[in-house]
Every structure is written in structure tokens, then in C-alpha cells.
Amino acid sequence: MSTNGEYDCIVIGAGVQGSFTGYQLAKRNQKTLLLEQFVLPHSRGSSHGQTRIIRKAYEQDFYTQMMEECYELWAQLEQEAGVKLYRQTGLVVMGPEDSQSYQLMKDTLQKNKVPIAILNRDNFCQHIPNVNLAVGYGAVVDITAGVLYADRALKTVQGQFVKFGGVIRDNEKVTDIKPGPVVTVSTSAGIYRAKSVVITAGPWANRLLAHTGLQLPLKVVKINVCYWKEKVPGTYNVKQRFPCVLLTECEEFKYHIYGLPSNEYPGLMKICYHMGSETDPDQRDKQTDRSDIDILQRCIARYFPGLVPEPAVVESCMYTLTPDHHFVLDRHPSHSNIVFGAGFSDLFRNTGRRPRGRPRTRWRDYISRLAWERLGIPQNELESVAGEREVWVNLLGLLPPRPDPGISG
């Protein structure tokens, strides 16, 4: 095994979070290495697939406010690379009018003055044909929402990363991380050193963090990504201006159900349950639970009369979840030059409190720390040097939406 260079920063994991982190670092003239254990592109993690939903409809204000900046950053990347990454379709949020989740999303959109349209059973079918709005349900349209072309976005940002001098090494599994003033990262093909390391490894985050003496309360689940055949081709097609759809939880299902207009496969609409069964990321395909598909079949039959209630195609994706389903972005408690991000897969549900022992995710805390680590701005000079808003905008480059950053769909 040979020693293959020294860097300002090594980013481990070339999914959407790691790739955008590397891209922002390279733009700031940081000599950056992006490591990926699989051959790129691949479908083993959480960032693959052609489409994701981008939206401002969240239960929490801070996500909605953060998305304002994220839309700007996506637009900047589109202009910079000359590639179309976003298509505005709108997002119809449906749910029991008296349910907490639906009301929170509606209130957050209104409070933050997001362009919306409120629909009821009298006018719903006029605007959203071939979808049933149940009795007692309300509907609100996040007009600015739409579809992100996920695979295209990942390829684009990786290309821009290389354009700005970044180095990508795929098919290199990290085998060891040795903390220190200079961090040593060993892989299946070489040894690298860097002043700082960022770990954005999704389902494999804890396996890498174990080398640093840290474990996070993360759970990995397998999602069945289902595509449903249109009875009449074109009924739910993106070219017919059919929107994305989000059903909030109700008595029938505990978690949200989301849908994207037919686009990836001709005549097939993607509709998925926003939860799955726990799995080992290295043994993903051995997990064969279909309870989420049973829920979806009942949902299709009730709400989408123009679809055949039997999935035509089923693919796989993995979510990495924290106990409260909010993501973690922090620095290592013992090694400040190691930063980690995990749990970006699910931003829907909120259980409120931060679990004891979980790293803090307060915005001001980690903005201040990352401003120092990423931009070289000491905390006491943060506002005088750049102003909090400008630093916020820059750091949001580390946090593109999921695609679920970001990230559902």
C-alpha cells in the first residue's frame, strides 16, 4: 500500500451531501479528496435515482427558511454548469384537516409567505384531476415545489468539483481513520492525510465513526421505491403539469406517503411510503419485508383511481435516521478537525426533543464552528468579517436538499 498525497480536506462518501461538501471546499481553493467505496455511479446508498422532491412544505420553520437559500444555490449551480436540474411542478399536501402534521405544514407555509393555493373538496378535482380528496381532508399546494433531477445533479456537482481542482477516487473503501492534528485515512488502495476530514457516509456513517471512538444513535432502513402503472398513459405525467403529492400521516398509515409525476419510466408514477424496515447496509437485498407495499396498495386504490394498485417496478433505497428524524451535522467532540453529517434521509417527522447524548444540531452553534473550520473565520469575528447571513448562505452549500437534501422522493 502506498501513500498517495496530502490534502486540506478529505470527504468520505460521494453521495449528494459529500459531493456538495467537496464542491464547496474546492470552490474555496481547498485541496480536497472525495472518497467513495463503490464504483461511481452506483445504486447502493441513498442518492441514486432520477428524481427527488424539492419543497418548502415542512412542519418546522427552520427547514422552510433554509430552503429559500437552497433554491438559490440550486439555481446558481444550474447557471454555473449550464445544466437543468429543477422542474417546478408544485406539491399538493393532503391530510386530515384536524391533524397536527397537516396543520403544521399549512401554517408554516403561510407564516413564511410561501406562494400557496388552498383547495377543498369543492374545487380540488378541478385543479388536481385523477386524485381523490377524502372526506375531512384538506389540501394546500406549495407552488414553488418541484422535481430535482437527482442523478443528473450528482453527476453535475461531481463534475464541477473536479473542474475546481477536486480529486475523486471511487472503488476505494476506507479501512481506517487515525485522528490527530493531521488525520490519516487508509483505504483499500492507499493512505491519505489531511488537515480535516468530513464523514458523509450515509448508512455506513457509524462504521467509519467507530475508528474515531464515536457512535451515533442511527438506524438504517430499506425503502421500497415503487412505480405504479397508469391505466391511461399520460394521466399523471409531468408534461401534463401533474404535481408532486404528499399525504400526511393519518389513522391508516403512521408516516407520510409521497409521489412524483410519471417521468423516470414512461407511464409509471413513483409513489413511496416514507419508512421501511431496519436493514444492514451491506446486506440490503436480503431484507424482503413488503409491509410498506401493502400500505401503498391500499393508498393507491383509495386516492389514485387512475393507477393500477400493484407496483410495476420496485427498486431499493436506504434511509439513515436519527431518533427524532432530524439530521446531525457536527464536529467530533474530541477531534475538532473531523466533521460528520448523517441522518439526512428523513425530514418529515418531528418528535421534539433532542435525545440525551445526541450531538447538538443548533444552527448557530454549528454555523459558528463550520465558519471557522471551512471558511477560516473565528467565531468572535464572524459578524464583522462577513455578516451572519452571508456565512449562512455559504454554509448552506454543504446542505443541499435530499432528496429526500434534501432530500424525499
The predicted-structure confidence for 17-36, as pLDDT tens digits, reads as follows 999 999 999 999 999 999 99
Query: Other CB atoms closer than 10 Å to residue 169's CB: what's the count?
Result: 17
Q: How confident is the model at residue 3 (pLDDT cuts 50, 70, 90)?
A: low
Whether 213 and 305 have beta carbons less than 8 Å apart is answered as no
354-389 pLDDT, tens digit per residue, is 333 333 443 334 444 444 444 454 444 444 443 444
Q: How confident is the model at residue 247 (pLDDT cuts 50, 70, 90)?
A: very high
What pLDDT shows up at residue 340?
94
Instruction: Quote the percentage of the chain above a pLDDT of 90.
Output: 65
Q: What is the DSSP string of 113-172?
A: T--EEEE-TTTHHHHSTT----TTEEEEEETT-EEEEHHHHHHHHHHHHHHTT-EEE-S-
What pLDDT shows up at residue 379?
47
Residue 55 has pLDDT above 90, yes or no: yes
What pLDDT shows up at residue 112?
96
Which residues neighbour 336 within 8 Å (Cβ) at sequence distance 6 or greater? 369, 373
Tell me the CA distances in angstroms from 168 to 11, 161, 237, 401, one per residue in order.
10, 9, 36, 22
Beta strands in 306-384, from DSSP E residues, in sequence order: 307-321, 328-331, 338-342
Whether 145 and 134 have beta carbons less than 8 Å apart is answered as no
Mean pLDDT, the chain, integer: 83
CA dist 269 and 288 (Å) reads 22
Q: How confident is the model at residue 245 (pLDDT cuts 50, 70, 90)?
A: very high
Residue whose entry in the numeric block shows the C-alpha cell 458523509 = 200
Q: How confident is the model at residue 177 (pLDDT cuts 50, 70, 90)?
A: very high
Between 204 and 90, the more confident residue is: 90
Q: How many residues does this entry show for the chain? A: 409
What pLDDT shows up at residue 42?
59
Between 235-239, 275-279, 320-324, the lowest mean confidence (pLDDT) is in 275-279
What pLDDT shows up at residue 36?
94
CA dist 154 and 151 (Å) reads 5
Q: What values do phi and psi take at 71, rounded to 5?
A: -60, -40
Residue 11 has pLDDT above 80, yes or no: yes
Residue 265 has pLDDT above 90, yes or no: no
Q: Is 191 exposed, middle or buried, given 0-12, 13-18 or 19+ CB atoms closer than 10 A?
A: middle
CA dist 249 and 94 (Å) reads 9
What pLDDT shows up at residue 408?
38
CA dist 355 and 361 (Å) reads 11
Q: What is the three-class DSSP state of 400?
A: coil
Which residues neighbour 389 within 8 Å (Cβ) at sequence distance 6 or greater? none
288-342 pLDDT, tens digit per residue, is 778 899 999 999 999 999 999 999 999 888 889 899 889 999 999 999 999 999 9
According to DSSP, residue 212 is labeled G
Between 29-33, 61-65, 397-401, the lowest mean confidence (pLDDT) is in 397-401
Whether 71 and 110 have beta carbons less than 8 Å apart is answered as no
Query: Other CB atoms closer than 10 Å to residue 210's CB: what's the count?
Result: 11
What pLDDT shows up at residue 396?
41
Section 192-221 average pLDDT: 94
Between 9-18, 35-44, 75-84, 205-214, the lowest mean confidence (pLDDT) is in 35-44
Q: What is the DSSP string of 162-201?
A: HHTT-EEE-S--EEEEE-SSSEEEEESSEEEEEEEEEE--
Section 39-49 average pLDDT: 66
End-to-end Cα distance, the chain:
41
**What sign for the dihedral angle of Cα 41, 45, 47, 48?**
positive
What pLDDT shows up at residue 374?
45
Q: How confident is the model at residue 184 (pLDDT cuts 50, 70, 90)?
A: very high
Between 354 and 220, the more confident residue is: 220
What pLDDT shows up at residue 367?
43
Residue of 92, 91, 85 whose CA lies nearest to 70: 85
Residue of 15, 17, 14, 34 whose CA lies nearest to 26: 34
Section 114-129 average pLDDT: 94
Residue 178 has pLDDT above 70, yes or no: yes
What pLDDT shows up at residue 272?
94
Between 158 and 275, the more confident residue is: 158
